[in-house]
Structures are given as C-alpha cells and as structure tokens.
Amino acid sequence: GNSVTQMEGPVTLSEEAFLTINCTYTATGYPSLFWYVQYPGEGLQLLLKATKADDKGSNKGFEATYRKETTSFHLEKGSVQVSDSAVYFCALQNANKLIFGAGTRLAVHP
C-alpha cells in the first residue's frame, strides 16, 4: 500500500541554522510528492512539490528532491527563520488522493 514516514519532532533550531526534515515513502506506481506547511491555527498550504524522479521542488528557500532510488523526499533549508516555525507534512499523491505523513513540528528560536 501507500504510506509516508516522516522524522518525529519536534525539531528545535536556532535562527539561521540548517534544516533537514526526513521523509520516505512506500507507493505503487509513480506518485507525485509534496510538502505542506501548517502554521498555528491555520489550514495546510502547499510548500513545494515534485512530480517525477530527480525533480527538485523549491519555494521560499525550501528544497526537496524526489529520489526514487531511496524512496525519499527530504525537506531542506539553508537558513531558517523564526517565521518558519510550523508543522510540516510530507505527502504522496496517488490516484488523485493525498496520503500524509504524521507531520514534523519545527520550532525556530531567535
């Protein structure tokens, strides 16, 4: 079946630190992969996506590369800001349905 596994949080970083949030998946076929972000009290917003192997999604300084050989889609940012504090969800899309990971909470301190 289809599933997504994310690293457990919370992840606590100082401002300007490097961020990696690991995400691996299991899927049949060739899914699209996504990162969504949820700020406190809000709904989910699409952060970035990749639709095929070796694609790199990027947005707001965040990047993730679709690695078919390792079935991974790790989220990275070179220098985090306090405003990046949120919950980040990795997801795969198969047959037009999204399957979500459990989410990773990121807290960035000044």
Residues binding another protein (CB under 8 A): 4, 32, 36, 42-46, 49, 51, 89, 93, 96-103
In three-state secondary structure terms, 20 is strand
Residue 70 CB, shortest distance to another protein, in Å, is 21
Residue 59 CB, shortest distance to another protein, in Å, is 12
Cis, bond preceding 10 (omega within 30 deg of 0): yes
Could you report how far apart the first and last alpha carbons of the chain are, in Å? 41
Please tell me the chain's helix, strand, coil percentages from 3-state DSSP, rounded to the nearest 5.
5, 55, 40
Nearer residue to another protein within complex by CB, 41 or 110: 41
The Cα 104–Cα 68 span in angstroms is 22
Nearer residue to another protein within complex by CB, 6 or 77: 6
Nearer residue to another protein within complex by CB, 17 or 87: 87
Residue 79 CB, shortest distance to another protein, in Å, is 27
Nearer residue to another protein within complex by CB, 60 or 79: 60
If one counts every other C-beta atom within 10 angstroms of the C-beta of residue 24, the result is: 17
Residue bearing tokens 């709904």: 43
Residue 32 CB, shortest distance to another protein, in Å, is 5
